[in-house]
Amino acid sequence: MKKLFLAASMAAAMMAVPAQAADYVIDTEGAHAFVQFKINHLGYSWLYGRFNTFSGDFSYDASKLAESKIQLTIDTSSVDSNHAERDKHLRSADFLNVSKHPKASFVSTKVVAKGDKTFDLHGNLTLNGVTKAIVIAAETTGEGKDPWGGYRAGFAGTTTLTLKDFAINTDLGPASSTVQLELSVEGVRK
């Protein structure tokens, strides 16, 4: 009887401990995460690009979304718009100024649930030496076991940045004053 009581007491104590958010590393090795952008070119067409090199991690528990956190570091010299000369210009002091600011970063400060699987991700973006608070409209895209014995969680989000807010003052006209940033993040639980 004592053993049964002890086992029941231990089980109750374990259930009383609140679940902790799981920690994930963003899967950039398997290319299951993307940081992409698009900007209107002079009001005539869309120019698309991405950053090929970045890393980060996040903490996530679906039942406690507000406690989630993410941090991301981007190698700005890895900008890739599929045009070598344009990429060279994007790396210059006219835009990303990678010689002075080789990294951009995002660190979340707050998560606000909006509805079924959607949320606003608030945080600080540092780009071109300037740090500004931004909001990323995000959604949970899924989570579960993978075929290799791991566990994954995925998210997608978008935000619009005004270039002058980040000391990018090259004027390409009013249609090109903002850039749309799109993130697709899949993490592997540590």
59-114 residue pLDDT tens: 999 999 999 999 999 999 999 999 999 999 999 999 999 999 999 999 999 999 99
**Which position has the higher pLDDT, 9 or 69?**
69
Q: Using the predicted structure, report yes or no on whether residue 115 has a pLDDT greater than 90.
A: no
Q: What is the pLDDT of residues 136-156, one digit of tens each?
A: 999 999 999 999 999 999 999
Average pLDDT over the chain, rounded to whole? 90
Q: Looking at the domain assignment, is residue 90 inside a domain?
A: yes
Residue 29: which pLDDT band, with cuts at 50, 70 and 90? Answer: confident
**Span 162-178, mean pLDDT?**
94
Q: Looking at the domain assignment, is residue 3 inside a domain?
A: no
Q: Looking at the domain assignment, is residue 10 inside a domain?
A: no
Encoding tokens for residue 143? 């989570």
Q: Looking at the domain assignment, is residue 1 inside a domain?
A: no
**Span 21-33, mean pLDDT?**
92
The distance from CA 131 to its chain's CA centroid, rounded to whole angstroms, is: 16
Kindly report the CATH number assigned to the domain that includes residue 33.
2.40.128.110
**By the 8 A CB rule, do 66 and 94 touch?**
no
Which among 143, 123, 118 has a CA at the least distance from the CA of 135?
A: 123
**By the 8 A CB rule, do 38 and 47 touch?**
yes
Residue 110, domain extent:
21-189
Q: What is the pLDDT of residues 38-48, one digit of tens each?
A: 999 989 999 99
Confidence (pLDDT) at 20: 62
Q: Using the predicted structure, report yes or no on whether residue 12 has a pLDDT greater than 70.
A: no
